[in-house]
Chain A
Amino acid sequence: MAAADKQKKVKALTANGANKFCCDCGAKAPGWASLNLGVFFCINCSAIHRKMGAHISQCRSVTLDEWTTDGYNRMMFMGNERARPIWEGKLPDNFARPTDAGREQFIRDKYERRKYFVAPTDADVAAFLEGKTPKMSARPTVTQTMAAPPQEEDPFPSVSAPVTFSPGQQDKRSSHKNEQDLMALFGNPVTTQPSPVGVSATPAKTKSTPEAREPPASMDSFFTVAETPANFAAPAAPASAAPVNFTAPAAASHGHTSSLSNVEKVEAPVDIKRSAFLSAFNDTF
């Protein structure tokens, strides 16, 4: 029952904004998702995701798989909109997305070889937690994406940016050193065991930027990402009223209850969301 509930919530996510389109080829109504990447894609692209192996992308069906709270949180925290500046940060705006022969090459370039990858900074992570799409430096064009897509044939408008971090940090993000810091922050990129997650989440808190320490964004603003918040928040109604309860099961299901339950008692809600986010994507970045 609970699993069916989660599935409905995940299904509801695919009705919002960029999640309505495959993140790789732009096909409508993607029915498949990657648990560790937090993106939605179509069945044809899922073939390539599966082929790359579970260490790159853990492919799940929106409707045929059972979903956990942790899985749902991953999809909600990330989603196509926010994943795009990370995985396609260096992708030219006029790039023609292959839907046929070049599909595998493109998807492998994107995730396996990380050709277009731009690592998110602390500030970006903070922006994620406020439910905003961070402006990544490699994508200078600014247009509004969150408005209802006027023409359906453009599922990949230029990334918009509610800018949540200072220009200074923006300059910093492109340096190699910063990227390494980030790797340290997010921990070992290929961690599959849950135990080290708690360990890496702890230093992350000490390094958190002022943005992350700011008073918690209300859950309302968190949900404004959704094009149609009602659609999105309705199944989560009890949870959105109480953010603490909302993220707690994610921590528990991830298998490092001890470290996180301490966090929950002491820290502000943003930090709880932050550690849930870090634990969810620790193995991705």
Chain B
Amino acid sequence: MFLVQKLLDRIRNAFFSQEMELTIVGLQNSGKTTLLQQIAGIDASSTIPTVGFNMKKVKKGKVQFKMWDIGGQPRFRSMWERYCETCTAIVYVVDAADGASFVDAKRELHDLISKPGLAGIPLLLLANKNDVEHASNEEVIEAMSMTEIQGRRVDIFSISAKNNDNIEKVLQWLTAQAQGKKNKK
């Protein structure tokens, strides 16, 4: 009985589940790996700097997420474009508590999304570390010049990957993008 159930599940998944590839980018130490681990349900209490990338496949509801988390050091930033080209949505993480990094974060973000190959791909900006005292969502929106971005869907959430704050909202957004992609086809 159990086996039959499993078999049915598998068939159903093969036909009805959606796959979504998303790329998590952002400067070093903005919380990309922590976010990835939090979504994947892994203990996110301590992460070492990512050298290269991490990849996790997670199933949430009907959607199978394939998540790429690319290192944020300057050495890895040229790789971002390649990983973003094939993805359904770009997730850009900013450390909202580190005001000194906003200038770099803005430059890298606008560099990335101005690439012709990435036109139209939805962008989710996450102002991470909202648990830290002096983190400010408004400042991030202002500093990133988010209002200048056109020709794609853009959303901004204030989250704390460490404390799992607002991660549900992020997943809802991602699921919505996956469905939007399916409807387009």
A residues adjacent to B (C-beta < 8 A):
32, 43-44, 46-48, 50-51, 53-55, 58-61, 63-66, 104, 192
**Chain A interface mostly:** mixed
The number of A-B residue pairs with CB atoms under 8 Å apart is 53
- Provide the residues of chain A in CB contact with B49, threshold 8 Å: 32, 43, 46-47, 50, 59, 61
Is chain B's binding surface mostly helix, strand, loop or mixed?
loop
Pair A47/B95 contact, Cβ less than 8 Å:
no
Q: Does B37 contact A (CB under 8 A)?
A: no
Select from chain B the residue with minimum beta-carbon distance to A48. B46
Expressed in whole angstroms, the Cα–Cα distance for A46 and B46 within the complex equals: 10
Q: B100 near A192 (CB under 8 angstroms)?
A: yes
Decide if B29 touches A59 in the complex (CB within 8 Å). Answer: yes
Complex: chain A residue closest to B34, CB-CB: A51
Bound-complex Cα distance A44 to B46 (A): 9
From A44, A53, A63, contact of B97 by CB (8 A): A53
Complex contacts, B29 vs chain A, CB 8 Å = 50, 54, 59
Interface residues on B, range: 20 to 34
Q: What are some 8 contacts across the A-B interface (CB < 8 A)?
A: A50-B47, A50-B49, A53-B129, A61-B73, A63-B75, A64-B71, A64-B74, A65-B75
- B157 → chain A closest CB, angstroms: 20
Residues of B contacting A64 with CB < 8 Å?
51, 71, 73-76
Interchain CB contact under 8 A, B46 and A66: no
The reply to whether B46 and A43 contact each other, CB–CB distance below 8 Å, is: no
Whether B48 contacts A44 by the Cβ 8 Å rule is: yes
State which residues 94-137 of B face A: CB under 8 Å: 95, 97-101, 129, 132, 134
